Structure 1
């Protein structure tokens, strides 16, 4: 077979090029012809990691400004490795400097990646036509990243997300009152009133909450989780009372809290969890409370009119230790005399020494089930 002439090769190359262009145009046209709901359904069936990859590679998808209904950004979403891999031949100070440098690099990469996903979804600098079911940021961010945090809060509100999470507890190495200076003062007021009326579930982690006088509650909030949050008792009381539809409350590692007394009725509350928060005294009125979980830090419990409270869980903070000389008689008094006379199911999460030291279960009038777990 004779070799093709250069003119023939040129014609074939042009033909192939035209064919590729036509296929791209056809794919773009077909994508544009699909209804919005169909395109959104396609995205919803993919993982957020796949969606991020697709939007990065496909200009057509970016131009459609269609978003996955659940935007959950973590280090795994972008494949960010956070293994410090320290060089132990160096001094301690040098290792710390290297780790800080790596963390700064991971954080910068995370911020750039989140912004690259959100940028096409903004209609203007403050509005978006995108609507979400879930928006979550789960990464170790601090007060110095406030500019980005506030923009993402604005986006979560503008997108009318029902579930919002800003959990910065990942890889934290500073806890306690002295670390408040590193926590972002979260702009909770932006969720107050009509602007946050779509939010039904809120998760906050490693932030500082200071409620302004103008705060009037999150209208339709039913589920609240606070993890390693700095908030005083007065602001926590205002927050809980201003969210009239709360059904589920989880408070964990929060400070500085010594007592929480709420005189008004939390009529919708069904589940309450208080763990490792230095909260020694709890008093509230919750007639529809059915499940309650707490630990030994909570020494005094007064749950008035909780006739439906049928299940309680006590978690020992000393489960990982070999021995814990906890006064179970005091705990039994807490159950029987103060707050929980109607409990039918009692779960005790203890260590082996604690279980062996228990001579008998608590004497509760309506108790049908008592379970020890090591």
Structure 2
């Protein structure tokens, strides 16, 4: 996708059905960013959130039926008012059984100061939790500048290996949202997230976890059993943390910040 101009991708709809089917079978990575959706130097089209969403929708509509995807990436500063568009893309990911999903709506530097938590898109965990859309195919999930909310009993991502959460707001307890079911986790990064009064824990050991990163998070304490952890990266205010008998740690970067240090969430 990144090698095609928008005009070029639109012209693909005019080729023969046979070649179109062949192109679909090769389309395993979809990356939608400012660079891929807006031609450099073209000032005739405003690079607005609405135009970005409109262009993504046009491209996905041309695929007719979802192909089997290896990667689906959207990086653009979208907001909650674009929920109808993003929900459609999430359903597309579920239908195409995308293995690696990135939805990063972190605003640019000039917009980050005016961003509000109640303006963040609410990631619909239930979309991939239906009887016909089990999330077992998802191997990695990167969420940026979204809200997470679910109800008790959420049957989460059993085969998820890599989880990245950046500037995520939680409408519930993270241990009830994700970690109890993520026993296959190998890589966990949580940065610039607000989890006030919360203990990051899991009801069972994360035996496959090798890398744990916690940066600039409002958190009460960390209490995880990670017997095979090899790398721990911690930049935060001082909080109690226990990682069980993590005897295999080979690299630990621990930088406690001064109490009262503000976080730019």
TM-score (ref. length: structure 2): 0.83
Describe how 1:341-360 pairs up with structure 2 within 5 A: none
Does 2:236 align with 1:296? yes
Aligned residues: 246
Residues 198-230 of structure 1: CA deviation (Å, up to 9, x unaligned): 110001111110122241111211100001000
Give the Cα–Cα distance (whole angstroms) in 2 for the partners of residues 191 and 148 of structure 1.
16
What is the alpha-carbon distance in structure 2 between the residues aligned to residue 219 and residue 122 of structure 1?
29
Question: Which stretch shifts more, 47-56 or 182-191?
Answer: 47-56
Cα distance between partner residues in 2 of 1:53 and 1:191:
32
Question: Root-mean-square deviation (CA), in Å?
Answer: 2.7
> Which residue number in structure 1 is paired with residue 146 of structure 2?
207
Q: Does 1:239 align with 2:195?
A: no
Which is higher, the Rg of structure 1 or of structure 2? 1
- Kindly tell me: are residues 298 and 282 of structure 1, through their superposed partners in 2, closer, same or farther at Cα, counting changes over 3 Å? farther
**CA distance in structure 2 between the partners assigned to 1:180 and 1:61 by the alignment:** 47
- Identify the residue that residue 50 of structure 2 maps to in structure 1: 108
Stretches of structure 2 that go unaligned for 5 or more consecutive residues are 260-265
CA offsets per residue over residues 157-199 of structure 1, 9 Å max, x none?
11111101111003263569x8221011110122337521211
Aligned to 2:34: 75
Distance 1:247 1:213 in 2: 24
C-alpha distance in 1 between matches for 2:184 and 2:141: 13
Residue 141 to residue 261, structure 1, CA distance change in 2 (3 Å): closer
Q: CA deviation at 1:233?
A: 6.7
1:55 Cα shift?
A: 2.2
SS in 1 for 2:108: coil
SS at match of 1:224: strand
Greater relative CO (CA pairs within 8 A, separation 6+): 2
The separation in 1 between residues aligned to 2:240 and 2:174, in whole angstroms, is 21
SS in 2 for 1:57: helix
1:86 corresponds to: none
Distance (Å, rounded) in 1 between the aligned partners of 2:198 and 2:129: 25
Alignment partner of 2:188: what SS?
strand
Q: 1:79 to 1:50 in 2, by over 3 A?
A: same
CA contact (8 A) 1:260 1:281 kept: yes
Instruction: Point out where structure 1 has 5 or more consecutive residues left out of the alignment.
Output: 1-46, 83-101, 318-325, 328-374
Distance 2:104 2:89 in 1: 13
**2:119 is the alignment partner of 1:182:** yes
Q: Which has the higher strand share?
A: 2
Q: Separation in 2 of the partners of 1:212 and 1:69?
A: 32
Per the alignment, in what secondary structure is the counterpart of residue 265 of structure 1? coil
Correspondences of 1:158-173 after superposition (within 5 Å): 158-171=95-108, 173=111
Contact 1:230 1:255 in 2 (8 A): yes
SS where residue 149 of structure 2 aligns? coil
SS class of match (2:154):
coil
